[in-house]
Structure formats: C-alpha cells, structure tokens
A and B are shown apart, each in its own frame.
Chain A
C-alpha cells in the first residue's frame, strides 16, 4: 500500500466515506455491458448452482441447476448460459474484415495468443466489443473453470453436448484469460474496478465484499460508510456475491430445497413447484449481487474517462476481433496449458501491457501522478524562469532550439542532472535535467539541533519533507520546426508544470524461438495439439 493510499484509507475511516484515489476513470465502461453473477455448489471445484445473467438491469435471466451434481443438468445450464451470452456477443459485428483475413488467426496456433498486438493493421478493428462484468475476481476464476470444463466438448460422438457448449467454453476462456491482461476491460470484476478508483476505511481483504465496498463508496442517505459496510456483513441482508454461497443458506435452505427437487423428480409429483421454490430462493441470493454490480457500473460510468482508456479499449476490440475470426475460421480451442514459447510470449505481452498501463494511468490522472511525485520519479511545480528562445549548436554542428525552464517544486526530487523527463500531455517533448538545487536553509542552521536530537531524533523525516528545490530543464522536441518555439509549446513563467521520468513508449515484443525450435533447456519442441476423444469424455469436476 502506497503512502497516498494509506492516507486515503485513514481519511475514509475518519470521514465515514470512501475517498477517491483517481480523478478520472481508468477502465472502459461499455454502453451495454453484460453482467454475469454465478453461484457454485459448495464443496465442488466447479459445479454451477445458479446464475443471473444478461445485459438489461431490469430483466435478468435466472439460470438454475436443480441437482448440481447431475452431469446432464450441468450441460443444460451451460447451453442456456451459452445461448444468453452468444446472443449478447452476436450483437457486436466482430471485425467485418474477418472473411478476407481467414486463416490469419489459425497461423498463430492458439487463440488469444498475443492478441491485442499481433497483426496490427492487417484486420479491421471491430467498432465495438462485448464487456462482461462479474461481482468479484473469484467470479472470474469460476468463469475460467467453467470455460475449461466446456471448451473441449464435442457436439457429436459418444458424449455429445449441445453445440453451443464448446463455443461458450471458448468465449469464457478467452474472456477470463484476457482479464489477466493488464489494462484489458473485456471482462471486469466490479470490486477490482471500484477499488482502483476509491479507497475505503477498511482493509483490502474486506474490499473484496462488493456490498461493503459500495457501502463505503455510496452509503445510503441515512447512514455513513462505516455503518453501511457493517450492515453489508450480514449474509441475510446481503448474501455473498458468489460464486461461494453463504453456508447458513446452504444448510438451512438450499439442502432442503434440492432434496425436495430430488424427491419430486423421483416421485413424479410436484416437480414444477419444487423447482420454482428452489429458483425463488436462489434468485433471492443472486439478486442483491446483480443490483450491486449494475450499481458499480453506474458509479464508474459517472466518472470522466481517462485519456488513454480509449486506446486500451481499442486493443481489447482488436483482441475480440481476433478471437471471433479464430472461431469463425474453425481454429482449435485454447490449449490446456501454454507451451514454453507461448507462456514466455504471453508473459512478455502482459509485462509490456502492465508497464504501459502504469505510465498511462499516471499521465491521465494527477492523483496517480502524485504517487510518482512522492516517490521522486516526477516533479511538479511553478516555472520561475524561462528562456524560450535559447538556441545552441548541437553535436552535429547544426543550430537547434533548446529552451531552458526553471521549475521550483516542493516535491522530493531524486532525479539527477542528465536524466531525461517528459511532460504529460506533450508526448513529443523531452526535458533534460540540467541542474538540481535545494533552496532555503535546509540543514544549515540545524547543526545545533541535530546534535541534541541524537540517533532517535528526526522522527518522521521522510524523503525531504521540508524545503523547495529548483530544477533547471532543457527542453527539446515538440516545439515545431523553427528556431523559435511554436506558441504554447514552452511553458511560461508562473505556469504550473509537471515532468516525469515515465514515458509511454512502444516496446516491441521480445523475440522468442518458434515453438518447434524450443531448446533443450526447455524440454525441446512440444508435440502439437491433436483433439482426441479423451477431450470430450473428460469428467467435469
């Protein structure tokens, strides 16, 4: 936890209300998202019990598995969910150019591999993409397992399932895998998206409870965040947002209702009524989380969007187009495991996305940038002197425009002369640090005092709490072609400016060997994937 977040949490506790840790929204919020709230049967790794799904907050689709241990019913659930999700996804024209580009995705071997960066420009980027919301990260984990349990099934043969089941599995796998990709917004967990923008007065572990998190952020009018969060811990008022259910509900309600369904099934009577009772009970468990997830979406939608969000969403749309084309072209399902080369490529792509996301968030948002300023990686302050028309002779003998600006800042400056900084919002401009000079009487005159305070003195002396620093910067680039700067390209005296060591530069993908050239240190070339009957027969556990 950074110092600023810790401070925001303390303030939230004091104020009884969550405090913003972002001034803009860092996630894309689709105009028509799809919300999926799953429940799983306790004690099973991935046995769907019920779900609420849909893209209309007023009209959720309730899916119930009357006997969650029954394989047939599980597949019926998957088929129903699949139809619901595919109806939604089908509403997005997935990359119209897909037909001409057939086979491009299949060349890559695995769907989603390097998605979002591969094949730039080859395929038209779909104008929009689906966005699926879950209440929490555990829900995404359940989605991943559900995708794993269904994507290798087959529509024909011995263990045939509804043709929509394997397609569902591949979409769920794609979405869940994509949700690990830093900055991606195709599948989001409401708790994570909210925690990115607000700090509450409770611990990060408690923030995993969507009800109490929203209680802090948007408490009801008659109470404050503390009380709302406390109320949210009552499982009767606010059942857990899944996929795990409340054990009390399991024991006292669910067990009885499932048993009644089983009896009705066996005895022939009252089946419809037993099922309706079960559905009603499960709807009562799901409905609060359904509403909360939509509320989270609404809270986030109200924030102004950050400058780089659209760019990241474009990468998501491209990844969506890739996967849609891969499915259309009859590509194989995502493999069970990444091969050595695929794993390394994916990690490389995720690391570059993470680095870029961190920089973009800081550039978009002064509150995030403040963290970097505290860490000495950025500085902000007022311009006290400027020499906008300074021209020097460059290394090549040409005369070049190199304005100087002097910035006075309270920030703890840890950059050294020679460091190259960049101003947020001026992507082509660089600023080289010429000199760093602490101002004022810091240190001097404290000689007597520090002797007395001794070793245990100076408590709370963080990195430069006192004093100002004057930094002289030499600007280059982004000022036009002439030897006088274009208007507005050099800050003037009195302007508030910010310069950071962070730069959002394109990092090319790292070079890895082709999978068939995997070296001996990594086990040699892997065997290519061949679908087998085993895939379809595999137990769903």
Chain B
C-alpha cells in the first residue's frame, strides 16, 4: 500500500466515516509516519477552515469546492477527531485554536482538569508569541509557575477580565459555572471522550461550532449513581459527550490521527490491534529507533531483573506470579511492582530515543506504576516508601530519592500522561471473577499505553483461564450501540501477546 492510500484511508478522507478497517495504518516507520501525520493534521485543519467559512447548521449548497473537508462542511457544526494515545492531540488542539483565532474567530477551549488547562495555555502561548491567551479560573485557583512565566497568558475569573484574548482556556466545570450569556463562535473541546454529556449540555449553549478531540479507547466517564433509567436514550447524561453529540448529529465527520508518537514500534501494533480494531494507528518511530539499556549488570538478581531486561529488549514483559486468589491489595503483587521499579532505578536504565539520541537516564519521574484501584495505588506507594527506607541493594540516598519520584496512580488518573517505562498491576490479577469494571477495555488501554519504551505487566497466573470462565455477559440494551472493542476480547488479545514474554517469578 502506498503512503498516499494510507493517508486517505487513515485520514478518513475517502469518506468511509471511520468505519473501515485501516490495516494500512498499522506498522511503523520514520519518514512515512511523519508525512502521514502531517497530512492528517492538515486535512483536519482544512476541514475546520471550511466549516468556519460556512454557516452553522445545515445549509446545503453553501460549501465551496476544493478542500477535502469542504463536502462535509454542509453537514456541520462540528468535527470529531479521534486520537490514539500520544498522537499529538494537544498539538492539534493548539494549532486549531491558533488557526481559528488567526482567522478572527474567538475560540473557547475546554479541557477537563486544571492541569490540562495549564498545559494548553502554556502550549498556545509558546506556539504563537503574538497571541494573547486567556485562562479562566475559579476563585481558589493558585497560578502555577509555568503559567506565571508566560507574559502572554492572562488569568481571569470572568470572560470580561479577558476581553483582549482571542483564545480563552478553562475547565469544563468553569465554563459551566459562568453566568451571563457570553458566547463564542467556536469551541475546541479536549478529552471529549472523558467529558460526560451532561457537562456538554451545560456549556453547549456558549458556542456555535465545535471541534471535539479525544481518545475513544480510554476510560469512559463514570457516575457513582447506578441506574438504567436513561439507558438507550440518545441524551443519556451518563455517557460521553461525543456519544451524545454523534447520536444527535450522525452526519458529523469523524477523523483520525494515524500516528502515535508516544508508543514505541513494539507497542503500537499491540495496542492498535487490541483497543482500536477499526481505526488502527502506527508508531511514529521504527523498531530500531528507541532502545533501553542498563548501566549496571543484574548479577543474577532473579526474576525481577529478568523481567526488566526482557521488557528493555522487547518492549513488553509479563512478570507472572503463582496463581492465587488474593485481596485487592495483594501484598506480593504490590511488593513486586515496587521491586521492579527499584530494580529499574538501581540498574541505571538509559533510554535512547529520537528525543534524546544520546540517551537519557530513566529517573523516578519517568516511571509510572498503574493500578485499577486507589487502595492498590496507596499500597504500592507504601511499598515504595518501605523500599526507600531500606533498599535491598544498599546505596540508599539517591536511589531512595528516585523511588519517591515514581508516579503511582490509578488508570483514571494516569490518563493523558506519558512515561518512559510503566509497571502495570494487571486489573484481573488474583481475582476470583472478571466483572465489568475489571474487564473495561479503557482501563487496560490506559495502563498499556502510557510508555515510550517498555511496559512490565505484573499479574498472577491464570488470567486467560479466568477470562474464559467469565465471558462478558453484560445485558444488551435497545438503542445502545455495541461497544468496540469488547473488554473481554481486548484482554485476551493483550494476554496473547504477553504469553510469549512471560517471566515466571517462582
């Protein structure tokens, strides 16, 4: 398949609505990937420009000819962009905001957390030194240092404080709490798959047209309330903003970003196959372009070292412990997670990549340990503290400090973040059953797609058997579109890949 065809299929420019299977976008590769990504981004920005030129709402015949996106402008008041992990979503948001603002259209940018808002504000201000960027914030917001450093970023509590700003960034909650009827011709909604539709309902009155950007493979928004009252309604307030948007506007174009810059060549095909079966994506780097090596030898230190060495070579390793039913905070599994992080740091892992061709030490802040539950994360943090207090290898000082910098969190909180190496406590490890929560494909997808170099999965043996004993049996509801990928199948797919990369810890 030629690059041209790939670009067409992966970019959705052929008008297949994203439903086709983009096998062409699998694989990996340097220059081809750059070109493919550039085309996709240009295509999306072109479509935006075309939408911007048209009038909101269905206005047949108003579209100009030429641009690839022009035909779809008729349909639309918006555009949805699906982005696999690490595919340059934030860059696209920033470029789109600048493009629209540059054309004289004020833009409201909606992110989900204050951290994301700060990231976007800084990114926007750095991309275009001339453009004043506004950051709306709540009364108790404490300005972060990186925001304060940018003279072009103005912080205000009300849009009136930011009258000179063409682009205003705020969290969805902040936008929703505004009073008055200030409105913007354009909105860019980041992490739209993680925003609940009731939040969109609260802010949708403020914009005419919108670009929705997000990762459909990650975790869906959730609620603590269990009710099936709205299941099947197109405006179910418990589902994601994009689901409701598309249910009411089926003609809205959906585009894909085809290249993941984060995931290495070893991971992109696995994640793409398991979690993005219909859109697919490729790695931005080729097989040899990244590497992970150790400064210190392992001295036969056992399975933990074997596992990290395998992961360094291959990108993946399954650190398998004896099968056992265990409580959620499985002491042995928790200790293993901490131990793996400790070995990575003690061995002095060096990551070589296109960003650091000369190599960069994998320090504590470049390592994450991901779990399914908060109590597991707490237990792992405690285990790290215990290791830091008494590291097995000796050399306490610096190693203890690095252990303290390791990020330990749940899948929900790791969403959108990136590390060199991740250690994943498998959601199904030691469980008696495989229920909906632990089978959710988004959870595993987040955990398995945070790394630039390698991922070590920690699990008790027997997960494939557990899966087979618990086929998904969620009820099927009328008017609820079938979810793909199915969590059960995604789990199997990942386990199948890990099977040949297993290090037995006993």
Residues of A within 8 A of B (CB): 3, 6, 180, 182, 337-341, 343-344, 346-348, 350-351, 354-355, 375-376, 412, 414, 442-444, 446-447, 450-451, 454-464, 510-513, 517-523
Q: Is the CB of A344 within 8 A of B237?
A: yes
Chain A nearest Cβ from B328, distance in angstroms: 8
Q: Is B339 an interface residue (CB 8 A)?
A: yes
Chain B nearest Cβ from A444, distance in angstroms: 6
Q: Is B294 an interface residue (CB 8 A)?
A: no
Q: Is the CB of A519 within 8 A of B331?
A: no
Chain B nearest Cβ from A368, distance in angstroms: 16
Whether A459 contacts B331 in the complex (CB less than 8 A), given A376-B378, A521-B244, comes out as yes
Q: Is B352 an interface residue (CB 8 A)?
A: no
Q: Is the CB of A521 within 8 A of B321?
A: no
> Hey, which chain A residues are within 8 Å of B205, CB to CB?
513, 517, 519
Q: How far is the CA of A457 from the CA of B387 in the complex (A)?
A: 12
Chain B, interface residues (CB within 8 Å), range: 35 or more
Whether A461 contacts B375 in the complex (CB less than 8 A), given A444-B389, A456-B505, A513-B205, comes out as no
> Hey, which chain B residues are within 8 Å of A412, CB to CB?
378, 382
Which residues of chain B (360-384) have a CB below 8 Å from chain A? Answer: 374-375, 378-379, 381-383
10 contacts between A and B (CB under 8 A): A180-B229, A338-B230, A350-B225, A351-B224, A447-B390, A451-B392, A455-B304, A456-B506, A458-B332, A520-B249
* CB closest residue in chain A, given B203: A519
Which residues of chain B (321-356) have a CB below 8 Å from chain A? Answer: 321, 327-329, 331-332, 334-336, 339
Chain A nearest Cβ from B149, distance in angstroms: 24
> Hey, which chain B residues are within 8 Å of A348, CB to CB?
198
Whether A460 contacts B390 in the complex (CB less than 8 A), given A376-B378, A510-B202, comes out as no
Contact partner of B229 (CB less than 8 A), chosen from A338, A512, A521, is A338
> Hey, which chain A residues are within 8 Å of B417, CB to CB?
none
Interface string of B212-249 (1 = CB under 8 A from A): 00000000000111010110011111100100110011
Q: Is the CB of B202 within 8 A of A523?
A: no
Q: Is B36 an interface residue (CB 8 A)?
A: no
> Hey, which chain A residues are within 8 Å of B375, CB to CB?
375, 463
**A interface secondary structure, majority:** loop
Q: Is the CB of B390 within 8 A of A450?
A: yes
Q: Is the CB of A456 within 8 A of B336?
A: yes
Which residues of chain B (25-70) have a CB below 8 Å from chain A? Answer: 57
Q: How far is the CA of A182 from the CA of B227 in the complex (A)?
A: 11
Residues of B within 8 A of A (CB): 57, 77, 176-177, 197-198, 200-202, 204-205, 210, 223-225, 227, 229-230, 233-238, 241, 244-245, 248-249, 302-304, 321, 327-329, 331-332, 334-336, 339, 374-375, 378-379, 381-383, 385-387, 389-392, 505-506
Whether A350 contacts B335 in the complex (CB less than 8 A), given A340-B201, A343-B236, A522-B204, comes out as no
Q: Is the CB of B386 within 8 A of A521?
A: no
Contact partner of A519 (CB less than 8 A), chosen from B201, B234, B389, is B201
Q: Is the CB of B248 within 8 A of A347?
A: no
Q: Is the CB of B198 within 8 A of A344?
A: yes
Q: How far is the CA of A464 from the CA of B54 in the complex (A)?
A: 61
Whether A520 contacts B197 in the complex (CB less than 8 A), given A456-B336, A459-B335, A513-B202, comes out as no
* CB closest residue in chain A, given B396: A447
Chain A nearest Cβ from B321, distance in angstroms: 7
* CB closest residue in chain A, given B506: A456
Q: Is the CB of A446 within 8 A of B382?
A: no
* CB closest residue in chain B, given A517: B205
Q: Is the CB of A511 within 8 A of B202?
A: yes
Q: Is the CB of B233 within 8 A of A461?
A: no
Q: How far is the CA of A450 from the CA of B233 in the complex (A)?
A: 56
Q: How far is the CA of A414 from the CA of B382 in the complex (A)?
A: 9
Q: How far is the CA of A348 from the CA of B327 in the complex (A)?
A: 33
Chain A nearest Cβ from B50, distance in angstroms: 19
Given known contacts A340-B201, A351-B223, A519-B201, what 20 new A-B pairs fall within 8 Å (CB)? Answer: A3-B329, A338-B230, A344-B235, A350-B227, A414-B378, A442-B386, A447-B391, A451-B392, A455-B304, A455-B336, A461-B335, A461-B383, A463-B378, A463-B382, A510-B202, A512-B198, A518-B201, A521-B210, A521-B249, A522-B200
Q: How far is the CA of A519 from the CA of B198 in the complex (A)?
A: 11
Q: Is the CB of B225 within 8 A of A182?
A: yes
Chain A nearest Cβ from B77, distance in angstroms: 6
* CB closest residue in chain A, given B375: A375
Q: Is the CB of B329 within 8 A of A463?
A: yes
A-B complex: 6 closest residue pairs judged by Cβ atoms: A443-B389, A519-B204, A340-B235, A344-B198, A447-B390, A460-B331
Chain A nearest Cβ from B468, distance in angstroms: 21
Q: How far is the CA of A340 from the CA of B202 in the complex (A)?
A: 11
Chain A nearest Cβ from B330, distance in angstroms: 9
* CB closest residue in chain A, given B303: A455
> Hey, which chain A residues are within 8 Å of B57, CB to CB?
520
**Which of A340, A341, A350, A518 counts the most B-chain CB atoms under 10 A from its CB?**
A340
* CB closest residue in chain B, given A353: B225
Q: Is the CB of A354 within 8 A of B245?
A: no
> Hey, which chain A residues are within 8 Å of B304, CB to CB?
455
Chain B nearest Cβ from A396, distance in angstroms: 17
> Hey, which chain A residues are within 8 Å of B385, CB to CB?
443
Q: How far is the CA of A338 from the CA of B234 in the complex (A)?
A: 11
Q: How far is the CA of A135 from the CA of B308 in the complex (A)?
A: 55
> Hey, which chain A residues are within 8 Å of B386, CB to CB?
442-443, 446, 450, 458, 461
Q: How far is the CA of A458 from the CA of B332 in the complex (A)?
A: 7
Chain A nearest Cβ from B190, distance in angstroms: 16
Q: How far is the CA of A182 from the CA of B225 in the complex (A)?
A: 8
Whether A354 contacts B389 in the complex (CB less than 8 A), given A340-B235, A347-B198, A460-B331, comes out as no
Q: How far is the CA of A446 from the CA of B198 in the complex (A)?
A: 52
Contact partner of A443 (CB less than 8 A), chosen from B224, B234, B339, B390, is B390
Q: Is the CB of A522 within 8 A of B248?
A: yes
* CB closest residue in chain A, given B332: A459
Q: Is the CB of A180 within 8 A of B248?
A: no
> Hey, which chain B residues are within 8 Å of A414, CB to CB?
378, 381
